[in-house]
Amino acid sequence: MKTAENKRIGVIGGGLGGLAAACTLAARGYKVILFERNAWLGGKAAVIEDQGFRFDMGPTILTIPSVLRRVFSEAGRRLEDYLELVRLDPQWRCFFEGGSVLDLHQDPDTMAKTLDRFAPGTDSGRRYRDFMAFSQRLNDISQRFFFYKSIGGLRDMFDFKTSFDPKVLGDVLAMRMGRTVAGMVRSFNPGPRVAQMIDHFTQYVGSSPYGSPAVLCGIAHMQTDEGVWYPRGGTRAVPAALEKLARELGVEFRVNTKIETILTHGGNVTGVRTRESGDIPLRAVVSNCDAVRTHRELIHGPAGAAFEKRRRYEPACSGVVLYLGLNRRYTHLAHHDFVFSHDPHEEFDWIYKKGEPAPDPTCYLAATACTEPATAPAGGEALYVLVHTPYLRPHHDWKRMFPAYRKVILDKLKRAGGMKDLEDRIVFERALTPQDIHDRYHVLNGAIYGLASHGRFLGAFKPGNRSPDLRGLYLAGGAAHPGPGMPMVLMSGWIAADALDQDGVAERGERGARFSETRHARMVEA
């Protein structure tokens, strides 16, 4: 008879992907232990609370809530019973050098009319509708072939035995392989400011639109289709909701626990070695750590070597984050804002080719008090400022570099963002540099978004969620399929759990048996 240990699954890392995997596995009847080296759960979705201000430290934009809803549906629960979501429209407000302002609206028709007013005589509205139709086609392809399954390359997407099927050939051609995001955007929207706005959908994956494959244009439809949402209580409320669900489902949490090694025998995962508790036998492991660092630091032997040999992965960008507590709000800001660089090509060249901070950066802002006044003292603002920078290079010394680059950022906001008196309003301030991000979150070279999506043909592909080299090893997080961003990371956890369940590497409990009977109906409903 099989013992209870046959059902023990380990999840390494309590970020969003790890929490999603743990909830999904527990809902299906597995005994789950989640290990987290930090004292908190949620990974980058942490929080700063000080002097009456509250800042989300990491992700601030929630899109595609259906992914999160699917995780809760695994346990037969309603997301709305755990989390309140507020729809945001306009989704972004864009500020350009010279004083132009452009709002991104969810409704494509409203957006088209806005563009016609913004750039009269350029046919921008029709061009935008055409682009969104193209984006929808790409999203449809992703829904059928890319999402909710372990994908590591093109061969995993399509059954090439049916390659002569006209529908399959049409889908492959529609992906515009060999074209970049920037190239496709400009083929529809030649106006430089409109193109710059649409380019920035790729910033969800921390990559240059000039180096990313055209298929990522599908992100635009994903966002406009399901909207942009703010979780009441901030982004931190998402891991809090997942933790509550996980505890209800019986997940065991071990925080302040560092995994030193994933134990293996005969090509199979057998457990983990912790610094605090020694060896713990497990039937399988879902690693929500960075996929590259998982293989370099936690796996020893042929499996780690095979991963490194298969493909060279490039870290995505890093960033400087300023958390600015203001004594007065800027009423011209929306909840989400971009203050754009003057020359995007030059900006991306500095970050992704030269490997140095851009002299004229784009600044992303989250001004949350307009949606949730409790994030700041009365009349004030908890202003989150993110500027993308290169991932860490050996010569980067951010203790030395930060003061000068802070001034670059503030000068940009004062000049192009309509915040001339910004420094006079700051009463509280903290910051994260790429070195801080590297040290705090244990990511590859300080990369915020895992692995870069560069490469006109293979850029969209990350390591698959099911290891081809080690039975019982599964990958989640921004450095695994389908990539970075809150919904994709959540999806990665679900996929890893689903792949593990399909493979039958451990025995499920009674809840798992009941799940088997209702799985199809639940997935259709989700």
The helix/strand/coil state of 110 is helix
CB 118 within 8 A of CB 194: yes
In terms of Cα–Cα distance, which of 411, 396, 20, 478 is closest to 207? Answer: 478
Residue 96 has pLDDT above 60, yes or no: yes
Assigned CATH topology for domain 4-43+237-313+457-525: FAD/NAD(P)-binding domain (3.50.50)
Catalogue the E-assigned strands of 402-515: 426-432, 473-475
In terms of Cα–Cα distance, which of 160, 164, 165, 104 is closest to 131? Answer: 104
Question: Which of 85-99, 161-175, 493-507 is least confident?
Answer: 161-175
CB 501 within 8 A of CB 515: no
CB 150 within 8 A of CB 461: no
**Confidence at residue 42, expressed as pLDDT on a 0 to 100 scale:** 94
What confidence tens digit (pLDDT) does each residue in 110-154 have? 999 999 999 998 999 999 999 999 999 999 989 888 899 999 877
**Confidence at residue 513, expressed as pLDDT on a 0 to 100 scale:** 47
**Confidence at residue 526, expressed as pLDDT on a 0 to 100 scale:** 44
The structure tokens 């990539």 sit at 483
- DSSP 8-state class, residue 149: S
Residue 517 has pLDDT above 90, yes or no: no
From residue 257, how far is each of 44, 274, 506, 508 by CA, in Å?
Answer: 17, 7, 24, 26
What confidence tens digit (pLDDT) does each residue in 338-388 have? 999 999 999 999 999 999 999 999 999 999 999 999 999 999 999 999 999
Residue 5 has pLDDT above 60, yes or no: no
**Confidence at residue 3, expressed as pLDDT on a 0 to 100 scale:** 47
What confidence tens digit (pLDDT) does each residue in 59-87 have? 999 999 999 999 999 999 999 999 999 99
The helix/strand/coil state of 84 is coil
Q: Which two tokens stand for residue 60?
A: 């601030």
- Average pLDDT of span 389-403: 98
The residue that leads in pLDDT, 12 or 300, is: 12
CB 13 within 8 A of CB 43: yes
- Average pLDDT of span 308-337: 96
The structure tokens 């293996």 sit at 264
Cα separation, 377 vs 309, in Å, equals 53
Cα separation, 71 vs 471, in Å, equals 24
Q: Calculate Rg over the CA atoms of the chain.
A: 23
Residues 6+ away with beta carbon under 8 Å from 321: 57, 384, 385, 386, 431, 432
**Confidence at residue 189, expressed as pLDDT on a 0 to 100 scale:** 77
Residues 6+ away with beta carbon under 8 Å from 521: none
Question: Which of 92-96, 107-111, 204-208 is least confident?
Answer: 204-208
Residue 239 has pLDDT above 80, yes or no: yes
**Confidence at residue 393, expressed as pLDDT on a 0 to 100 scale:** 97
Residue 258 has pLDDT above 60, yes or no: yes
Q: Which two tokens stand for residue 142?
A: 């992703």
Question: Which of 70-74, 186-190, 332-336 is least confident?
Answer: 186-190
Residues 6+ away with beta carbon under 8 Å from 236: 42, 45, 46, 47, 56
Residues 6+ away with beta carbon under 8 Å from 303: 264, 267, 295, 467, 469, 470, 473
- Average pLDDT of span 282-304: 94
What confidence tens digit (pLDDT) does each residue in 410-463 have? 999 999 999 999 999 999 999 999 999 999 998 999 999 999 999 887 788 999
What confidence tens digit (pLDDT) does each residue in 266-275 have? 999 999 999 9
Compute φ and ψ for 523, nearest 5 degrees.
Answer: -70, -35
H/E/C letters for each residue in 266-297?
CCEEEEEEECCCEEEECCEEEECCCHHHHHHH
What is the torsion angle, in degrees rounded to the nearest 10, for the CA atoms of residue 195, residue 196, residue 201 and residue 206? 140
**Exposed (0-12), middle (13-18) or buried (19+): which is 226, by Cβ within 10 Å?**
middle
The residue that leads in pLDDT, 172 or 480, is: 480
**Confidence at residue 248, expressed as pLDDT on a 0 to 100 scale:** 98
CB 452 within 8 A of CB 248: no
**Cis, bond preceding 59 (omega within 30 deg of 0):** no
Q: Which residues of 381-419 are buried (b: 16+ CB within 10 A; e: fewer)?
A: bbbbbbbbbbbbeeebebeebbeebbebbbebbeebbeb
**Confidence at residue 459, expressed as pLDDT on a 0 to 100 scale:** 83
From residue 208, how far is each of 8, 381, 388 by CA, in Å?
Answer: 41, 31, 11
Residue 488 has pLDDT above 60, yes or no: yes
In terms of Cα–Cα distance, which of 94, 100, 99 is closest to 118? Answer: 100
Cα separation, 364 vs 412, in Å, equals 11
In terms of Cα–Cα distance, which of 206, 187, 190, 203 is closest to 340? Answer: 203
**Confidence at residue 160, expressed as pLDDT on a 0 to 100 scale:** 57
Residue 159 has pLDDT above 70, yes or no: no
Q: Which two tokens stand for residue 460?
A: 């969209």
Cα separation, 146 vs 281, in Å, equals 33
Average predicted confidence (pLDDT) for the chain:
92
Cα separation, 28 vs 224, in Å, equals 32
DSSP string of 366-403, one letter each residue: EEGGGT-GGGSSTT-EEEEEEEEEPPP-TT--HHHHHH
Catalogue the E-assigned strands of 222-376: 228-231, 252-254, 259-265, 268-274, 278-281, 284-287, 318-326, 336-339, 363-367
Q: Taking the domains of the chain in order of start, what are their residue ranges?
A: 4-43+237-313+457-525, 107-222
Helices (H) and strands (E) in the chain, counts: 18, 20
Amino acid at residue number 75? A
Q: Which residues of 139-166 are buried (b: 16+ CB within 10 A; e: fewer)?
A: bebbeebbbbbbbbebebbbeeeeeeee
